Amino acid sequence: MNIRLLAALMAALFLSACDATQSGTAKAASEAEAKSASDAPAEGPHGGRLLEDGDFALEITIFEDNVPPEFRVYAYHDGEAVNLESVDLDIELERLDGRVDAFNFKPKNDYLLGDGVVTEPHSFEVMIAAEYAGKAYRWQYSSYEGRVSIGAEAAQTAGIATALAGPGTIRETVTLYGNIVPDPRRVRHIAGRFPGVVVAVDKNVGDTVAKGERLASIEANDSLRRYAVTSPIAGVVTERMVEPGEMASNEPLLTVADYDEVWAELQVFPGHAQRVQVGQPVVVGTNGDPQAKTTVSYRAPGATGEGQSTVARAVLGNAQGNWTPGHFVQATVETARRQVPIVVERRALQTFRDWDVVFIQVGEAYQVRPLELGAGDGEYVEVVSGLKPGVRYVVDNSYLIKADIEKSGAVHGH
């Protein structure tokens, strides 16, 4: 074999292998590109697909300039336009999920007009039945848009996961902001029992103490006897206001706080005041900190401050020390729930052309499906139209399907 030819073949194989490695979906091939250029359909005078059988021909177009997409079909005999009243035409479109859209036709101007909207995507098996001059004609062809095929093994390798569309719950929420504060019932400002001289202070700010543990020693003025100042609770020393040699009177010497439970104190502005109520579920979080699920435990009855906001409170368990008093927090309060007939997971949504879409799966075929969306929350979105319950759709890594469709060129066209 010629050395140059051998080198060229090896380079081509190497580039092909690299391209296959880089594609997370094992180079899913577009069904729209399955036909070679030599199999491209014939085109009629109006830019539509030309179907011919002997001397009779139909030109199939989907017209959508300033109108919803509609079939406009032109009929010819021996290359000349025919009397449209003499043509009987029906078209059926079978979509990937098995739905069949049927169209009847009536003459209008110089074409036969279909009696319905050709809904997006324009991706279907087309079946045409026509009668003209006492003879029946039948055609069938595939017209795909926004569809690719991906083998099961390649889909699994790419991490493509699916779910079934169906009924679900949409949570109505409001977002509140606030700070972590200590529970005042878990804070103790500790003073001596009798006035005297502070002999020793055993704990510093930040030290952990047990209930009953000694914090300081004082020599009483009256008896000149020493006594211990102990902590009435377990917690952390947050303040130290005295040093050895100073006089102790009725003022606090140290402050101990128990942070095993803290409060998220949240500002509720007037627009949300009537929606936020005690007992509602709330998720509290900060950047970098874990989220905590709890409930609204208190809401102030009246407005406070210049902004006329009220205060809501949520109790947070803090045994792991995740919540530090003073830190800013964001809380999502669930104010209502409602059941809807069909939802999809928010993470499944992609934008395709000017649509909000998911990608449905039937076998190894994946098809774009435009949706009309309703209300949603952080997890789910209501589907108003475009999807039926029980349809399988891509949840994880749906962007890979979109990328393969765009790469393959399976885009809008008729």
> Is residue 411 a contact partner of residue 122, using CB atoms and an 8 Å limit?
no
Distance of CA 94 to the CA centre of its chain: 30
pTM above 0.75, yes or no: no
Which residue intervals of the chain bear CATH 2.60.40.3340?
Answer: 32-145
Which residue intervals of the chain bear CATH 2.40.50.100?
Answer: 185-257
Buried b (16+ CB within 10 A) or exposed e, 1-12: eeeeeeeeeeee
Residue pointed to by tokens 């009177």: 249
pLDDT given for residue 290 in this prediction: 66
Distance between the two ends of the chain, CA-based, in angstroms? 45
Which residue intervals of the chain bear CATH 2.40.30.170?
Answer: 174-181+260-337
Q: What is the DSSP string of 81-134?
A: E--GGGEEEEEEEE-TTS-EEEEEEEEETTEEEESS--PSS--EEEEEEEEETT
Is the domain spanning 185-257 CATH 2.40.50.100? The answer is yes
pLDDT given for residue 413 in this prediction: 52
Residue of 292, 331, 327 whose CA lies nearest to 313: 331
Which residue intervals of the chain bear CATH 2.40.420.20?
Answer: 148-168+339-408
pLDDT given for residue 203 in this prediction: 97
Assign domain 174-181+260-337 to its CATH superfamily.
Efflux pump adaptor protein, beta barrel domain (2.40.30.170)
pLDDT given for residue 291 in this prediction: 86
pLDDT given for residue 33 in this prediction: 45
pLDDT given for residue 406 in this prediction: 86
Q: What is the pLDDT along the chain (414 residues), one digit of tens a residue?
A: 443 333 333 333 333 333 443 344 334 444 444 444 456 789 999 999 999 999 999 999 999 999 999 999 999 999 999 999 999 999 999 999 888 999 999 999 999 999 999 998 899 999 999 999 999 999 999 998 899 999 999 999 999 999 999 999 999 899 999 999 999 999 999 999 999 999 999 999 999 999 999 999 999 999 999 999 999 999 999 999 999 999 999 999 999 999 999 999 999 988 888 899 999 999 999 876 668 999 999 998 876 655 678 999 999 999 999 899 999 999 999 999 999 999 999 999 999 988 999 999 999 999 999 999 998 988 999 999 999 999 999 999 999 999 988 887 655 555
- Fold for 148-168+339-408, please state it: 2.40.420
pLDDT given for residue 279 in this prediction: 95
Assign domain 32-145 to its CATH superfamily.
Domain of unknown function DUF4426 (2.60.40.3340)
Residue of 245, 236, 259 whose CA lies nearest to 216: 245
- Return the structure tokens found at 95: 């979509």
